[in-house]
Amino acid sequence: MPLLQIRTYGDPVLREKSRPLDKSEVNDSFRDLIASMAETMYGAEGVGLAANQVGETRRFFVADIKQVTGNGQKGKRRKDAARRELLVYLNPEVLETSVEDEAATEGCLSIPEEEAEVYRPLRVRVRYRDLEWNEHEELLEGLHARVFQHELDHLDGVLFVDHVSRDERERMAGALNRLKRQTRKALSSTAK
């Protein structure tokens, strides 16, 4: 499976709201796309990858929580390839969130090098479909809940930098502007 190009901050597709996926779209070529996304995510050492991060404005994402060892919350997360367990979420939604929230450091494959503290509900009740179009409802907690919320945000055009404090935002402003300019430049040169 070929590696897909990960869209970076400044690419308008990251600000688009994705549309729901229809059952008829879940065919062999869709499964190939999921396999490519998984390979792209693992190749980039990511914990999750949403469809619009590879230019697809449909509601789905892939993730892998199992490969993360160590505490997975603060500091560097270590990845262990032997512990991989790919999770695929189609038409994901959050049904309920806990009042209790938690701060943790987040990063994003579309915003390389940058990390910041983000507060999110500690627990979320979620609903989604799998590749067999079976519907699931689950209660997620901790890192799993955080990754689900981060990836679901992507499908609504929201990035983790939208959730950070004003101080963090100011600290990252220079790097974000540089990245945006780079992305726009690359986009305009491929459009010609």
Q: Is 164 a residue that touches Zn ion (CB under 5 A)?
A: no
- Find the shortest distance in angstroms from Cβ 50 to Zn ion: 7
- Output the CA–CA distances (angstroms, integers) from residue 174 to 108, 161, 177, 179, in the order listed: 17, 13, 5, 9
Q: Is 118 a residue that touches Zn ion (CB under 5 A)?
A: no
Nearest-angstrom CA–CA distance, 19 and 6? 19
Please choose, out of 35-43, 56-64, 107-115, 129-137, the segment that lies near Zn ion by the rule CB under 5 A.
107-115
Nearest-angstrom CA–CA distance, 3 and 42? 10
Q: Is 108 a residue that touches Zn ion (CB under 5 A)?
A: yes
**H helices of the chain, where?**
28-43, 142-155, 166-191
Nearest-angstrom CA–CA distance, 113 and 54? 18
Q: Is 62 a residue that touches Zn ion (CB under 5 A)?
A: no
Shorter beta-carbon distance to Zn ion: residue 129 or 150: 150
- Find the shortest distance in angstroms from Cβ 133 to Zn ion: 26
Which residues fall within 8 angstroms of residue 103, CB to CB, at 6 or more apart? 117, 118, 119
- Find the shortest distance in angstroms from Cβ 132 to Zn ion: 26
| Residue tagged active-site, from 16, 113, 151, 168 | 151
Whose structure tokens read 């910041």?
116
Q: Is 54 a residue that touches Zn ion (CB under 5 A)?
A: no
Please choose, out of 4-12, 60-68, 103-111, 173-181, the segment that lies near Zn ion by the rule CB under 5 A.
103-111
Shorter beta-carbon distance to Zn ion: residue 4 or 26: 4
Nearest-angstrom CA–CA distance, 73 and 61? 21
Q: Any catalytic annotation for residue 151?
A: yes
Nearest-angstrom CA–CA distance, 141 and 98? 10
Please choose, out of 18-26, 76-84, 105-113, 130-138, the segment that lies near Zn ion by the rule CB under 5 A.
105-113
- Residues belonging to the active site: 151
Give residues in contact with Zn ion (CB under 5 A): 108
